[in-house]
Every structure is written in structure tokens, then in C-alpha cells.
Amino acid sequence: MTGRTLRAGDVVLLTAAASVQFTKPIVVRVIRELPDRYTYDGWLWLDVYELDTKGLAVARRELFVMREGVQVQLPRHANEARKPAPVRHPATVGVG
């Protein structure tokens, strides 16, 4: 991830590429970046919800990660084909 500010609601995968603390990768939903905290060049603080395998928040965390290692994920619904809306026909009144 380069040059893009993370936005609330972004879902990201954090692996060892983001920080050595993620030897076991985790998926998180961004609440916000914490720009007022001192960081080294290329690193950032994130306020996030850690997600379980169902995509439900299980813990709120503040994480120090390398920006280049943050992998933004597509939302689940973006990968699914959209079904067309059913066609509705007006009710016909008996002609008589």
C-alpha cells in the first residue's frame, strides 16, 4: 500500500510484512489512522477492530505497522456477482 490514507471501514490483512508481531496474520477493520502519534518514516499507528473468520469484530486494538505491509482487502460483497432485481409486473385487474 503506497500513498493512500486508510479510511474508516477499510478491511486490511496484516502479515509479517506489516510487522514481526503478525507471524500469524490477522484481518482488521480500520477505525482510523492515528496521525498525531510519532512514527518512523514509513510506519503508522492504526486504531482497528480485529475480525474473526466470520468478519465480526472481536477486539479493539491500536497497532504500529509498516505502511508497505498493509494489504487492503476487497469487501466480501465486491467479489460477489450482483443479482439483477426481480422484474415486477403491475397487477392486472380482471377485464370483464
Note the pLDDT of residue 79: 44
32-50 residue pLDDT tens: 999 888 888 999 999 999 9
What pLDDT sits at residue 22? 96
What's the predicted TM-score (pTM) here? 0.73
Q: Tell me the Ramachandran region of residue 39: left when phi exceeds 0, alpha when psi lies from -120 to 50, beta otherwise.
A: beta
Question: Residue 78 burial (CB < 10 Å; 0-12/13-18/19+)?
Answer: exposed
| pLDDT < 50 stretches in the chain | 78-82
pLDDT value of residue 37? 87
| Predicted local distance difference test score (pLDDT) of residue 89 | 64
The number of residues making up the chain comes to 96
**Residue 66 one-letter amino acid:** M
Residues 4/80/28/42 CA torsion (nearest 10 deg)? -20
- Return the pLDDT at 88: 67
